[in-house]
Amino acid sequence: MNQPIRSAWMGGIPLSLSELWFLLIAVLFVGFFFLEGFDFGVGMSTGLIAKSDRERRTLINSIGPFWDGNEVWLITAGGAMFAAFPHWYATLFSGFYLPLVVVLLALIGRGVAFEFRSKMKQQRWRKTWDIIIVVSSSLLPFLFGVVFATLMKGLPIDGEMQMRAGFLDIVNPYTVVGGLSVTLLCLVHGLLFASLRTVGDLRERALNMAHKLMLPLAAILAVYAVMTYFMTDVFAVRGWALWIMVVLGAVSLGLAAYFVRHKREGWAFGMTGAVIAIAFASVFIGLFPRVMVSSFGSTFDLTVYNAASGAYSLKVMTIVACTLLPFVLGYQIWSYYIFRKRLNEQHHLEY
């Protein structure tokens, strides 16, 4: 395990630009998983709770106005990583080339399936695209969970910032449990979003499925937290902060289960969203000031300092971000407000 790292940021000293951009990238990824997480969950739920083509269409329509906008958070996070931390971007994307290609193909297949499944009425045509929606919506959160778990566990990164990871460096019990945790969490989050957006039997099925999955979700998250404590150094680096996050996450999950049981899906959805936000915020808190942990020792860690762009580039990026971000957030909030009403099986417009 690497030795604990002390940071100016956690000591209360004002952020440098590189630290600020690390924080902004963390916010972008947290926002992505909160928003796209329910998209993934709704996609998975089309194969679990929908009993007819019309119900599957209703579920897809429930995220129709949002899913492509939610993916912008991922694109923005990747772009910010490229501009603010080019060494982090280069090491991560070159080392995870194959998994990230699979992620890209799954994102493409999922988006195409949403648009193409209703272009023809043949059952075989629609069933094929429905399978692609379920598989890609399950595969994406799993792969993202694996990648983020490896960032905490550590990867073979040398002095030239080259990552030479083998199969077992990426796929091992810790990362698989991490991937399954994210997948199940997104599924429950998506079921609750579906219950918010639908009526009748479909809403009841979504709530019942979410209720049944609460205990397995709590169990796998607890196992993953224990494995994180023993198999990574993040608790040694940020012990007090991460213990607070663990308590907040447990309370949020308990409240989610309570609200689901009482069929208050709005509050339950907010609580599962809080669990997602806490979980991914914990990753960045545990890493800071590192961005990637080297299994060869702390000397080879990538940090917000040795992986960052120059001061001028970061300054220009900060000005542009402060100018444009309010407009982007305003548009997305407006779109959620406009499409806030529930859908029923009569709302079968093909987005």
- What is the per-residue pLDDT for 94? 87
Beta bridge partners of 157: 163
The pTM for the full model equals 0.87
Q: What is the pLDDT of residue 3?
A: 39
Residue 165 makes CB contacts below 8 A (sequence gap 6+) with: 95, 96, 150, 155, 156
pLDDT at position 331: 72
pLDDT at 43: 92
User: What is the enclosing helix (H) or strand (E) of 326?
Assistant: helix 311-338
Mind giving me the DSSP string for 190-247?
HHHHHHHHB-HHHHHHHHHHHHHHHHHHHHHHHHHHHHHHHHSSHHHHHHHHHHHHHH
Task: State the pLDDT at residue 342.
Answer: 66
pLDDT at res. 4: 40
Contact 23, 288 (CB under 8 A): no
Low-confidence stretches of the chain (pLDDT < 50) are 1-13, 350-351
CB 182, CB 150: distance < 8 Å: no
Q: Supply the pLDDT for residue 105.
A: 94
Q: How many residues does the chain have?
A: 351
What is the residue type of 237? Answer: V
Work out the burial of residue 273: count CB atoms within 10 Å of its CB; fewer than 13 is exposed, 13-18 middle, 19 or more buried: buried
pLDDT of residue 7: 45
218: phi then psi, degrees, rounded to nearest 5:
-60, -40
pLDDT at 210: 94
